[in-house]
Homo-oligomer: A and B are copies of this chain.
Amino acid sequence: MDRSCASADLFAPIDPDFREQACRLNELFDAQSVAVVGASNSPTKASHHVIRTMQDEGFEGRIFPVNPSEDTVLGLRCYPSLAEIEEEVELVVVSIPTRFVLSVVEQAAARGDVGFMVILTAGFAETAIADNVTLEKQIVDIASAAGIRIVGPNCIGVINPRTKLCTGFAPGLTLTPGKIGLITQSGALGGAFLMACGSQPSPLGFSRFGHVGNMSDVDIVELLLCYAGDAETKAISMYMEGIRDGRHFLRIAREVTQEKPVFVLKVGRNALGSRAAMSHTGALAGSDRIYDAALRQVGIERILAFDDLVDVSKAAAYLPAPAGNRVCVLTQAGGPGIIAMDEIGHEGSLCLAPLDPSTRSALEDLLPPMAMICKPDGYIDMTAAAMADVHARALQIVLDDPNVDSVVFITLPPTFLPAMDVARAVAPVASAASKPVVTCFMHGHAMLEARAHLEHLGVPTFDAPDRAARALIHLTHAWNHQSKQTGGSR
């Protein structure tokens, strides 16, 4: 990405053909007939897990294993070649040795009904060997002439958790429908993200997953525009190493961020990371400062840590947009409250909510005498003397204050106050709020049941107070950008 990224052509209109192509990718995610070339009964093969995951999860469509050496695969009739399948095939998943891929693409082209191919096989342009690069280009040319879009090669492809379409897999992966669309330039990172989502106190679902590998045809920019148009996708999270055409990406991103929050973990932040990224996907990372400025200019919220990408995705999936950046920190424990305050103060873009005098006096009436109310203003330490109902009523009081745009809620229920009591009291208040409430129930295994209860009702919980605050900060940035662009209407 060079300096000209930041220039005026970001505002150039998007090519209508490109928009139509991106829109057509929705058919890929909705495919109901899938051939798996290289299908195997051996659990050491990727293709085996592709089919098994769709079977286990209950894919609604039809699966056609293709392998000349098998009669059945995982109980399904297996076809010797693509040509033998009499029914319609919308999507072909390819998991065979590199040298056989070209002929499978020719067979797919010859059928006339195939719209998409996901090529899992590696060994193409990413090797930087001339013959392999050429082979990849030939494949794309043949597919393109037949109107087939290629995802990959060298990828784990796409997942739609609603239909249970899944060309990728990861240990313990379950396909929970949700509101986050993930786009990743690393299959491993994408898999780890899904496993992290599935391991939250209540599994965090997703709407779409896409790993596009070598991006020989479909790339992350096109996926971004596709997700923007998907009604189930409320926010988009990306893992990004680098892209060929920075201007094109930024132009699309500028439009998409007006519709939905976009969070990007962009790596290659320095010389070490860039050089590792180059050896991974050949990404020319370019100057990180230019990237950083360009991402900010188009309204992408940049994320710096893996955990933070999971955290902000959870916040974006569950929470409404904040109307502004005035946050109230409501804590039941001093130390954890200070840690959240440090995080907010360090980042600097949120300010503490100047509480209305009526809010303050309502809190004084409610809270135990040792409570610290508005020291400083907008910060309330209820102390460990606060029982479950006091937690809930204090939260309602601060949410009712028109000067409060969002709340960081922290508690460490003492032994004699069951965490589930606090969760049951707080969850209805937080989930009914029209303002975002991020919560932190400290800590560990003892809080998992309470956290699951909250998340099940749409109230996100975070592992540490600073992480809760950071998720809120990122969320507020993303929505602030949008409200600026759209004049506050959302």
Query: Which residues of A are in contact with B by a Cβ distance under 8 Å?
Result: 43-46, 48-49, 122-123, 127, 169-172, 184-193, 195-196, 198-199, 239, 241, 265, 267-273, 275-281, 305-307, 329, 332-339, 341-342, 344-346, 352, 370, 372, 375-376, 379, 381, 384, 412-416, 419, 442-447, 463-467
Closest Cβ of chain B: how far from A485's Cβ, in Å?
29
Given A198-B444, A342-B267: A188 and B272 within 8 A (CB)?
Answer: no
Contacts of A267 in B (CB 8 A): 335, 338-339, 342
Identify the 6 closest CB pairs spanning chains A and B, nearest first.
A186-B335, A199-B444, A272-B345, A189-B335, A188-B333, A172-B446
A338 to B188, CA, bound (A): 11
CB <8 Å contact, B336 and A186? yes
Tell me which of B329, B415, B463 contacts A307 (CB under 8 A). B463
Nearest B residue to A329, CB-CB = B276
Q: Is the CB of B416 within 8 A of A43?
A: yes
Q: How many whole Å from A388's CB to the nearest CB in chain B? A: 13
Which of B186, B335, B447 lies in contact with A241, CB distance below 8 A?
B335
Q: Which of B199, B271, B306, B333 is A339 in contact with, Cβ under 8 Å?
A: B306
- Residue in A123, A239, A339 whose Cβ sees the most chain B Cβ within 10 Å: A339
Instruction: Indicate which residue in B281, B338, B442 contacts A268 across the interface (CB closer than 8 Å).
Output: B338
| Identical subunits present | 2
Residues of B within 8 A of A269 (CB): 342, 345-346
Cα distance A262–B479 in the bound complex, in angstroms: 41
Q: With A172-B444, A273-B345, A279-B372 given, name 19 new contacts (CB 8 A).
A: A44-B416, A127-B370, A171-B447, A186-B336, A186-B338, A195-B446, A199-B443, A269-B342, A270-B342, A270-B346, A272-B352, A273-B338, A273-B346, A278-B375, A279-B375, A279-B379, A305-B467, A306-B466, A307-B463
Contacts of A375 in B (CB 8 A): 275-276, 278-279
Closest Cβ–Cβ distance, residue A337 to chain B (whole Å): 6
Q: Please state if A381 and B279 are interface contacts (CB–CB under 8 Å).
A: yes
> Cα distance A390–B44 when bound, in Å?
17
Q: A273-B342, A279-B381, A306-B465 are in contact. Are A336 and B189 (CB under 8 A)?
A: yes
Q: Are A442 and B195 in contact (CB under 8 A)?
A: yes
Q: How far apart are the CA atoms of A449 and B426 in the complex, in Å?
A: 33
- Asked if residues B334 and A186 are in contact (CB atoms below 8 Å), the reply is yes
Distance of A62 from chain B, by nearest CB (Å): 23
Chain B's nearest CB lies how many Å from the CB of A189?
Answer: 3
Separation in Å of the A24 CB from the closest CB of chain B? 28
Provide the residues of chain B in CB contact with A277, threshold 8 Å.
Answer: 338
